[in-house]
Structure 1
C-alpha cells in the first residue's frame, strides 16, 4: 500500500479498535502525522494515563510502551516493533540499583524514565528530562541520591540544583555522539542562532562554556521555546526526528541539526506499515507482571504529578 492508503487504513482501524496512537517526537514524520498525540516521555505518559481509548498503539521504544502498560493495566498497549529498544535503558540492571541501596540504606533512587520496569520498581521516583530538576530539588537534602542511568542528564541536574548526586555511568548512544567539535563548528557557521541542547548530550557542559546563553531543554521544551522565542534560527542538539515537529509547529523559523546523522535506529524501527499491522493483528502487546508494575506505578505516578 502507498502512504495515503496506509494512512486511511490506520484511521479506519483506529476507529474499529477504539484505539489511540501516541508517538514520540523522534519518530518518522509519517508516523507522527497519523498519531493522535506527539510529545516527549512526560507528555506521552500523561496522555497514556488520561486516554479513554481501549487500545494504545505506542510509536516509540519499549520502555515507553512499558510505562503506558504500567499506568493502564486495564488497557491493551501495542508496540509496533517489539525490537524497538533503548541503549540507555539497557545500560542499567536491577542489580546495580540493589547494590547501591544496600550500601546506602537511607538513600533515594531517582530513575530516569528511560529505564526498564524492573529498575523503575526499585526507584523512589521517576523523572523525565522535562521535570528532573524540579523533582530532585524537592527531595530531602539530608539523604543520598542515586540518579540512574543517564550520567549527562544527572550532571545537568546536579549543576542546576546544587545537589550532590551519585551518578550511574549510562548514556544514550545518539546524544553521547554529539560532541564539542560539532557545536564549535555550528557556532562559527551560525553565530546569530539560538542553541537548544538536550541535557542527555555529552557536550552539555562544554556548550555552556562555549555559548553561555544556550538553552538546555527537553524535546518538549525545545518545541515550546522555539514557538515563542524571537529568534528565527535555531541550532538543535538532539535526535533529528524532532526537526519535523519543530518545522511544523514553528513554520517560519529555521532549524539546523548539530549532527544531521544523530538518528536513533530504535525509534526509526517503527514504520507506517508496522503501525497498520499492529492495529490489524493486535501486535505486539506489551505486558508487565503486576508485582513489578505495582511498585513501578508508584514511582511513575509521582513523576506524572510533577510540573
Structure 2
C-alpha cells in the first residue's frame, strides 16, 4: 500500500470502512484522544480527554480495546480491563511527560518523604502509578487535591506546571517533581501576544500543562474537555488555543462559525502550532494493521496492574 501521507481521499475512506468492518467482526472498540489525527477521530467509538477515556475504558463491554493515544493511556485501559485485549497502534507512541519521571528516581524521592500523600497525574507510567496514593487528570486535579486533608503534605508528580497551577488554585504547598510536557512548553509567549494583537477580541485559552507565563495571559485555563466546553458555551467568536493542535478538529466541528487560532510554537514548523509527535505516530494504516493482527498488545504483570489499579479507582470514585 502507498505511504499514508500520499493516499487519496477515496483510499482513506475505503480504509476507514475496512477498519469499521473489522471492529464489528472482532467486537472491538476504538478509543481516541482529541490529539489524534482527524481521520482516526472520525471512526473512533469515543473521543475524549484522559479522564473521559479512563471512564469509558472502565465500562466498555468490548472484547478488544484499541487505544488511539499514547502508551500510558493504553496501560491505564489495560489496568482497568486486565482480562481484555488492549492494543496500541504503535508501541513507540510514548509521552515526554511520562518519561520525565523514571520509577527508580521517583521511588527514592518518595522514600525521603514517607509522610507525604503521593498524587500523580495520569500522564505517567503504570509503575509510577503503583507508587501513588491517588491519580488525577487535569479535569479533576483540583478536586483530588482538595479531597486530601490540609494537614497532610503532598508530593505531586510528574508535571511541575500543572502542580504550580494547582498550588495557586488550592492554596496548598506541594513538593513538585521536575517534569514537563514538551508540547505544552513549546508555546512562544512573544508570538502568542503578537497573534493576540492581530486579533484583539480573541479569548486566549490554555491547558494547565503550559508554562506559568502562558497561563497568566490566558482568559481560561482548563483540561482538554474543559477547553472544548468553554469554546462551545462562550459568547465570543475568536479563540487562541494553547494546547496540542489536534484538539482543533473536534473543536471546529462543535463551533463551525467560530474562529480558532492555534497558539504559535517557539520553533517555526508547517502548522505554526504545537503538535505531539508521539500522538501523531498512530496513523489510520497502523490502526487497521493493529485490528487486523490484534497487536501490538499491551502486556502488564498481574501484580503491577493490581497495585496501579488502587489509585486509579480512588480517582474514579471521586469523579
Could you tell me which of 223, 246, 258 is aligned with 1:218? 223
CA shift digits 1:6-34 (9 cap, x unpaired):
01100100001100000000000001001
Question: Alpha-carbon deviations, 1:192-239, whole Å to 9, x = none?
Answer: 11111000011xx3245445xx10011111111111111111110001
Alignment of structure 1 residues 237-276 onto 2, 5 Å: 237-259=242-264, 260-276=272-288
Where do residues 3-82 of structure 1 align in structure 2 (5 Å cutoff)?
A: 3-82=12-91
Moved more, 91-100 or 193-202: 91-100
Report the Cα offset of residue 297 of structure 1.
Answer: 0.3
Q: Corresponding residue for 1:182?
A: 191
Give the length in aligned residue pairs. Answer: 303
Which digits, 9 at most, give the CA deviation of each residue in 1:232-258, with x for residues without a partner? 111100010000010011222111001
CA root-mean-square deviation: 1.2
Unaligned runs of 5+ in 2: 2-10, 265-271
In structure 1, C-alpha distance between the alignment counterparts of 2:292 and 2:82, rounded to whole Å: 22
- CA-to-partner distance for each residue in 1:59-114, whole Å, 9 max, x for gaps? 00000000000000111100001110111101112223222222211111111111
Aligned counterpart, 2:301: 289
The answer to whether the 8 Å contact 1:104/1:144 transfers is no
Partners of 2:174 and 2:152 lie apart in 1 by 10
Secondary structure, aligned partner of 1:201: coil
- Tell me by how many angstroms 1:162 deviates: 0.4
Cα 1:80–1:210 shift into 2, 3 Å: closer
1:141 aligns with 2:172: no
Aligned ranges 1:131-170 → 2 under 5 Å: 131-170=140-179
Q: Quote the Cα distance in structure 2 between the aligned partners of 1:9 and 1:120.
A: 36
Query: Any conservation in 1 of the 2:31–2:65 contact (CA below 8 Å)?
Result: yes
Give me the whole-angstrom Cα distance separating, in 1, the residues matched to 2:299 and 2:255.
Answer: 37
Deviation of 1:146 (Å): 0.8
2:208·2:215 contact (CA, 8 Å) conserved in 1?
A: no
Distance 1:71 1:114, change over 3 A: same
Q: How does 1:76-95 map to 2 (within 5 A)?
A: 76-95=85-104
Find the aligned partners of 2:122 and 2:227 in 1 and give their Cα distance. Answer: 19
1:95-106 equivalences under 5 Å are 95-106=104-115
> Could you tell me which residue of structure 2 aligns to residue 206 of structure 1?
213
CA drift of 1:128 comes to 0.6
